Copies of this chain bind each other. A is one copy, B any other.
Amino acid sequence: MLLNQPRLLERMADLQLDAVVATAPENVTYLSGFWALSQWIRRGPQVYVVWPAVGKGVPEIITSTSTLDLVADQIPWVSNVRRYGDFHVEVDPGMAEDPVDQRHIALRDAPAYRDALMALVTSLAEQGLTAARIAIDETGLEPSHMGELKMRLPNITWVPAAGLFRAVRAVKTEEEIDRLRQVAQISERSIQAALAVAREGARELDLARAFHIQTIKDGGFPVLGCIGFGERSALANVQPSERRLRAGEIIRFDVGGRYQHYRADIARNAVLGAAPPEARRLHHALLRGVQHACEIIRPGMSAAGLFEEVTNVVQKEGIAHYKRDHVGHGIGLDGYDAPSLSVRSNDTLEEGMVLCIETPYYEIGRWGLQVEDMIVVRRDGAERLMMTDGNLMEVPS
């Protein structure tokens, strides 16, 4: 299961919640296993998951009739489904022998509510949660809905839930870690595929296309593809352009797709031909920063302390003026999960967190270098999810 259920229940108890309601796509998928296409590719479509505290009711998915085919095909672990809205299909029950079709037909047999809000109000009311304390994820809810909910359920105490979900999602289950390992390694193979087309005169766009095509071949879906050459490697968000590669130039990758809805975010660097000694020196310091993080990470360590250690190492190992706001972040269904590895962070590392550890260095007009690895915080230290070592690569020119 993706959901870290003990952690959710513990946080709910701490906050004395009678229920939580997920509304944003990440939280809906996390809480139920249900991936509703429409809300992942657009903003607007409303899908909710209601998760009552133990003894207070049964978890429920609330989704539109038009998405019931996905429920039937995915079999999410939350099996109670309340539907809203019309969506016409022809059904000849005699013909529908496939188990997906049978589940689909059964799901359509339930009554349809007029809209998502009415379905949510009824769900809470039927479970006796009309005078309850409920955390609702404010980030996926249609803006006008909060006012209507307060009007229709005036005795509920509403608490914002986005922060709660981020906190629960920060510690991954093994199933999540498996997906994150897969997507990290898909992204590494995609970098190799991009470097296979790197030659004098190749465009950033050529490498980006090779990158994304490999991601698709490996079962992933493209998301992030910052690939820049030479002076463009210093643009943090560089979008691949017609810029052509020349010998001796840096190629910086800050990239990562999705695999089974989980994100990668990794960074690697290469040079066409022999690396300039100065680039090699800077890169060594950045790599040492990430390596040091992997050496010292333990559950219980403060994120701000880790930040301090990593920047110190980069400074000592060769970039005395190295300055950063953060050296990484969690990753999961969202590309920036908790914790934040920043100077101002109050987070503490916990066993099971998956982190991107990164030491980017941008020198406008010259080059950008960045090492970023994905790791799991284990009881006895960091487990790297990577196949490659992060060294500066030299591509034959």
Contacts and interface: CB of A to CB of B under 8 A. Distances in A.
A257 to B, nearest CB: 10
Contacts of A361: 90
A212 B220 CA distance: 11
A66 interface: yes
A235 B90 contact: no
B231 A101 contact: yes
A69 interface: yes
A216 to B, nearest CB: 5
B42 A334 contact: yes
Interface stretch (A171-179, A295-303, A319-327): A319-327
Interface residues of A, number: 72
Which 4 A-B pairs rank lowest in CB-CB distance, beginning with the nearest?
A: A96-B365, A95-B365, A69-B235, A138-B143
Contacts of A162: 143
Contact of A365 (B88, B92, B138, B237): B92
A237 B69 contact: yes
A363 interface: yes
B66 A236 contact: yes
A116 to B, nearest CB: 15
Given A37-B226, A89-B362, 12 more contacts: A37-B237, A37-B239, A42-B336, A89-B363, A89-B364, A91-B363, A95-B363, A96-B364, A100-B231, A101-B364, A143-B143, A221-B222
Interface string A77-104: 0000000001111111101111011001
Interface in A218-233: 219, 221-224, 226, 231-232
Nearest to A90: B363
A392 interface: no
Nearest to A241: B73
Contact of A239 (B70, B231, B324): B70
Interface string A26-46: 000000000001100111100
B363 A321 contact: no
A86 B363 contact: no
Given A24-B43, A41-B335, A222-B216, A86 B366 contact: no
A265 to B, nearest CB: 10
A364 to B, nearest CB: 5
Interface string A302-338: 0000000000000000000101110000000011100
B222 A217 contact: no
A42 B166 CA distance: 14
A207 to B, nearest CB: 12
Nearest to A364: B91
